């Protein structure tokens, strides 16, 4: 990525034209990075979704005493399908969101760079190590990308959370809820909460996605630069990808927990209206013990960190591989 004769370290390296597989028609070459990002996200989302289901259930339901207990009870009551409830919405939306995020991030980066380093305050560090120049550029560009994408992603994530919790809430109160389709869930949310119901928890979603995306890209590029310089290696890509996911999630996790609890309350409200279930029967200690929220804000962190490390490593590994060998 070049601007005014200066090099800004890019999210990926150069194409290996000698070994590249030419699969993109000329008319689609400008969408190359977005298409590769979409495919990479499909793979990483599918791989990490069962861990995400466990994370959401641990965040919102205190009946599970451990990750193993959550896995065991989910498997016993719902089978393997229980871990993939609601997978279609995020499989499509998350992949599109990640693709859009990469595009907005890549587009924003040179403009952010110019805005920062054409300013006399930052002029003295223009010649420093790429790490020093790149860190603020990556964070601000990621902040912009995350904020923009959250507007699109929030309804799909709420649908995902609804699907992950619907049968669990039903089992808790003895109601036979077999699990609704993505379209049915969307219709139910709109019916009982209006179109704005799809944006339940949006303020926290916006904060989470903006900050986490800024940290995600800045950690990724910084670790990659520190480990192997401007010539990235497969090891630096996988390590940077995994660590970027872990560090950003650890920092932002309390916000994600708060968002999940808010969305969980909305799910329970909709189900109580839809099936005539008393809200008193489905209120759990998340509501009864809200003053102790900070104590429980990292509940489910372990499984989330594992998921984030795996999915980020798979995403960046697949993405960089595609960017190098698919032309």
Each residue of 85-143: pLDDT tens digit?
A: 888 877 888 889 999 999 999 899 989 988 887 765 555 555 566 667 788 899 999 99
Q: Which of 70-79, 109-118, 304-313 comes out lowest in average pLDDT?
A: 109-118
What's the pTM value of the predicted model, to 2 decimals? 0.81
Q: What is the pLDDT of residue 5?
A: 38
Name the fold adopted by 2-325. Answer: Mitochondrial carrier fold (1.50.40)
What share of the chain in percent tops pLDDT 90? 43
Percent of the chain with pLDDT over 70: 83
Helices (H), ranges, the chain: 32-60, 67-78, 88-117, 120-123, 130-173, 182-193, 202-228, 234-275, 279-282, 285-288, 293-296, 301-325
- pLDDT of 294 reads 52
Over 80: is that where the pLDDT of 278 sits? no
pLDDT category, 6, cuts 50, 70, 90?
very low
To the nearest whole number, what is the mean pLDDT of the chain?
83
Beta-carbon contacts of 198 under 8 Å, excluding residues fewer than 6 positions away, are: 154, 155, 158, 159, 186, 189, 190
CB atoms within 10 A of CB 285: 12
Q: Please tell me the distance from the alpha carbon of residue 185 to that of residue 223, in angstroms, as a whole number.
A: 40
Of the candidates 89, 93, 91, 101, the residue with the CA atom closest to the CA atom of residue 34? 101
Q: What is the DSSP string of 34-101?
A: HHHHHHHHHHHHHHHHHHHHHHHHHHH-TT--SHHHHHHHHHHHH-GGGGGTT-HHHHHHHHHHHHHH
Would you say residue 285 has pLDDT above 50? no
Rg (CA), the chain: 21
Which of 70 and 271 is assigned the larger pLDDT? 70
pLDDT in tens, 198-255: 999 999 999 999 999 999 999 998 888 888 876 788 899 999 999 999 999 899 999 9
Residue partners of 239: CB distance under 8 A and separation at least 6:
223, 227
Integer Cα distance of 306 and 51 in angstroms: 8
Asked if residue 291 has pLDDT above 60, the reply is no
Alpha-carbon gap, residue 279 to 273, rounded angstroms:
9
Q: How many residues does the chain have?
A: 327
86 or 147: whose pLDDT is higher?
Answer: 147
pLDDT band, residue 289 (cuts 50/70/90)? very low
Q: Which residue has the higher pLDDT, 287 or 167?
A: 167
Q: Are 28 and 137 in contact (CB under 8 A)?
A: no
């Amino acid at each position: 990525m070049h601007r005014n004769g200066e090099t800004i370290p890019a999210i990926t390296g150069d194409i290996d034209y000698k070994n590249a597989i030419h699969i993109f028609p000329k008319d689609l070459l400008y969408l190359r990075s977005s298409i590769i990002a979409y495919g990479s996200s499909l793979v990483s989302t599918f791989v990490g979704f069962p861990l995400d289901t466990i994370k959401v259930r641990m965040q919102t339901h205190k009946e599970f005493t451990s990750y193993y207990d959550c896995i065991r009870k989910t498997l016993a009551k719902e089978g393997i399908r229980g871990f993939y409830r609601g997978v279609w919405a995020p499989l499509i939306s998350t992949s599109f969101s990640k693709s859009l995020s990469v595009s907005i991030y890549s587009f924003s980066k040179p403009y952010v760079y110019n805005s920062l380093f054409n300013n006399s305050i930052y002029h003295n560090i223009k010649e420093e190590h790429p790490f020093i120049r790149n860190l603020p550029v990556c964070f601000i560009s990621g902040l912009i990308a995350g904020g923009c994408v959250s507007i699109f992603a929030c309804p799909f994530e709420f649908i995902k959370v609804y699907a992950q919790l619907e049968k669990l809430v039903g089992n808790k109160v003895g109601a036979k809820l077999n699990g609704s389709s993505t379209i049915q869930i969307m219709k139910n949310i709109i019916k009982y909460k209006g179109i704005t119901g799809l944006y339940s928890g949006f303020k926290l979603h916006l904060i989470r996605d903006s900050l986490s995306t800024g940290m995600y890209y800045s950690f990724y590029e910084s670790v990659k630069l520190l480990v192997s310089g401007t010539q990235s290696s497969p090891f630096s890509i996988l390590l940077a990808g995994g660590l970027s996911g872990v560090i950003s999630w650890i920092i932002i996790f309390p916000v994600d927990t708060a968002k999940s609890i808010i969305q969980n309350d909305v799910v329970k409200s909709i189900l109580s209206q839809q099936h005539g279930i008393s809200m008193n029967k489905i209120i759990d200690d998340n509501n009864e013990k809200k003053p102790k929220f900070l104590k429980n804000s990292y509940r489910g962190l372990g499984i989330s960190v594992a998921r984030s490390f795996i999915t980020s490593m798979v995403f960046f590994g697949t993405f960089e591989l595609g960017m190098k060998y698919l032309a």
